[in-house]
Amino acid sequence: MKLFKPLSILAAAATLGLIAVQQHSSAQTKQYLIGFSQLAFDDPWRVAFNNQMNKAAGKYSDFKLVTVNAQRDSAKQVADVENLVQQKIDLLIISPNEAAPLTTIVKKVYDSGIPVIVLDRNVLGEAYTMFIGADNKFIGTKAGAYVAKWCTTMKYRPCNVLEVTGLSGSTPAQERGAGFREGIKKNRNIKILSSVTSEWQKVKALPAAAAAFQAKTNFHVVYAHNDDSAEGAYIAAQNANLDLKKMLFLGIDGLPDKNGAIVSILQGRLGATFVYPNGAAEAIDWAHKILTKGEKPPKKITLGTDEITTENAKAACEKYDCEK
């Protein structure tokens, strides 16, 4: 009997120790479900965005990422988010198709206690955990300033601009347009003769720009809200037999893929682009800090940009590791 008690105590202690180890192990291996509501998969910037999101999430073994495609339909995106919530996501990352239609659902998710990281395009108000994105108005202003300088160098008076906008109603389109108008104020000779929409898509930019070129042939600059649309406008100008050597085509995104703007500049189509970072890596890193460490993030993170032109495109290609 003297031996029984110590052995019983040891066995009990061992059992408790095993339970504690199991509980600790369970805590260490807790899996988090991250819902990512992407507004579309149909343009190069969004494809790169998705790839970088998957790569970033892959760094964390305790993260499972579920990505859904709203197909540029705000009503569908609302339904997508509701479906993600039903799947019991631990955190929502969303790039809203439009600001106003997505504001209510984002607020609903946030108010329910689920952290929400808004990327690229913002919603109205501040009912979300954090926003990560570049300053679209600042980038638009830089594009406008570049055009103002180019028009001065070319001595065009007036210097006529065709603007190819993104999706009407989206915050990036509004801000890139407003910023551009601020930037061109430095040159009073610049006139925006026409503004057409492409909804960020090359396939829609081509006919829209073609119609503009058919109506007026005296354009000197095509400012597109994204590079893919600038490429569409370039093809339209080529088809219209315009003198491309006397024109400037520029956009925003600065993707390094083989069909992206950096390569396009090197090949002589686009004249300039401005890098628009997507914030995927930053969003995933903050999601991990929020869920695993309980950290409180800043309400807003503004990402930087790079101006890429014919002068520095080769160096930019090396910096951003262009696809060959």
Q: Please, which residues have CB within 8 angstroms of residue 34's CB and are 6 or more apart in sequence?
A: 57, 63, 64, 65, 66, 89, 90, 91, 92, 93, 284, 287
pLDDT tens per residue across span 204-249: 999 999 999 999 889 999 999 999 999 999 999 999 999 999 999 9
Q: Where are the domains of the chain?
A: 30-134+278-304, 136-277+309-319
Give pLDDT, residue 7.
Answer: 47
Tens of pLDDT, residue by residue over 5-15, are 454 554 554 45
**pLDDT at 37 > cutoff 70:** yes
Is pLDDT of 60 > 50?
Answer: yes
User: Would the pLDDT of 21 be above 70?
Assistant: no
pLDDT digits (tens, 9 = 90+) for 135-168: 999 999 999 999 999 999 999 999 999 999 998 8
- Tell me, what's the pLDDT at 25? 46
Q: Assess whether pLDDT exceeds 90 at residue 129.
A: yes
Does the pLDDT value for residue 196 go beyond 90? yes
pLDDT on residue 324: 66
- Topology alike, domains 30-134+278-304 and 136-277+309-319: yes
Q: How many CB atoms lie within 10 A of CB 207?
A: 13
More confidently predicted of 109 and 172 = 109
Share of the chain above pLDDT 70, in %: 91
**In this structure, are residues 105 and 79 in contact, taking their beta carbons and an 8 Å threshold?**
no
Cβ proximity of 119 and 287 under 8 Å: no
Task: Identify the residue with better confidence: 262 or 324.
Answer: 262
Give mean pLDDT, residues 266-294: 97
Q: What is the mean pLDDT of residues 110-132?
A: 96
Per residue in 210-222, pLDDT tens?
Answer: 999 999 889 999 9
Architecture of domain 136-277+309-319: 3-Layer(aba) Sandwich (3.40)
pLDDT of residue 26: 47
183 contact partners, CB below 8 Å, separation of at least 6: 140, 141, 142, 143, 144, 145, 146, 147, 148
Q: What is the pLDDT of residue 24?
A: 47
pTM: 0.76
Find out if CATH 3.40.50.620 is the number for domain 30-134+278-304: no
Nearest C-alpha neighbor of 247 from the set 273, 284, 218: 218
pLDDT (0 to 100) of residue 4: 43
What is the C-alpha separation between 43 and 66, in angstroms, rounded?
A: 20
